[in-house]
Each structure stands twice: as C-alpha cells, then as structure tokens.
Amino acid sequence: MSSCILLLDETFDLLLERVLRPLSHLDESIKQLQDELQRNNGRIKPIFEINGLHYAVINRDNLYFAMIMQTNNHVSPLSVLNYLEDLYQLIKKFIGMSLNKLNVRDNFHLIFELIDESSDYGIIQVTNYNII
C-alpha cells in the first residue's frame, strides 16, 4: 500500500502531491526524495530506501512520477512501478498530449481524480483507460 503519489518537474520541484494514507513527516520524506534526485542528477534507481521508507520513481516526459511507501506494507515493488507507468499512460490519454509542467498544472484536478479512481486508500485498483 502506498502512502503518497508525487509528480515532480525536471528541476525536482513538486507539482502534485496526493496523500493516500497518513504518513508522519511527509514533508521531510519529500525533501529526502528531492535531495536524492538532485544528488544524482535525476539518475537514480527506480526503487530505493531512505530512513525506513521505500521510494519508487519513474521518469517520463521530463517529469518524475514517484510513490512513497512504508516498509511494512508487503507490496511488490514491481507492481508499484507498473502502476506508475499505467498512471502515466492514463493521464497522457486523458489529457491528449505529451505531459509537461504546464499541462500538469492546468489539469491537476483531473489528475487527482484519475489517481483516486485508480487506487483506493493506497491499494492499486483498475488503470484501464476504457474502464475508467
């Protein structure tokens, strides 16, 4: 189960944050992710752990899609990466063009709704475009 879904731009600034489950010190966790991205110029492992939290990150269209998960949740890291990829494809289909910082800001409400429809309290649900 995921605690938070994040969207960051190419300079690692936060564009969108969707909290799915309560997570103590969320702001600190986001800052740790941003610091890790900056330290490695955006080239990081897709799954890594910092201070007891697991992070999953993919880079698409110069945007970083990330999930923060607690370590005791028994979720397959590959299913989380698959969900992030499916979420990216879903958002791209609904917006109808390649994603960038401006598209995300202009369509943040739609993206929140897509996240809510494709996950239930952090548990991955349906990501099929034809069903949603």
Decide: helix, strand or coil at residue 86.
helix
pLDDT in tens, 10-54: 999 999 999 888 888 889 999 999 999 999 999 999 999 998 889
Q: Which has the closest alpha carbon to 37: 61, 9, 74?
A: 9
The model's confidence at residue 127, banded by pLDDT at 50, 70 and 90, is low
Looking at residue 16, what is its pLDDT?
93
Pairing state of beta strands 123-124 and 63-70? Answer: unpaired
What Å distances lie between residue 9 and 15, 19, 48, 128, CA to CA? 7, 18, 20, 25
At 124, the pLDDT band (50, 70, 90 cuts) reads low
Cα distances (Å, whole numbers) of residue 112 to 16, 37, 78, 97, 108: 9, 24, 23, 18, 6
Q: What is the arithmetic mean of pLDDT over 102-127?
A: 79
Give the mean pLDDT of the chain.
86
pLDDT band at 62 (very low <50, low <70, confident <90, very high): very high
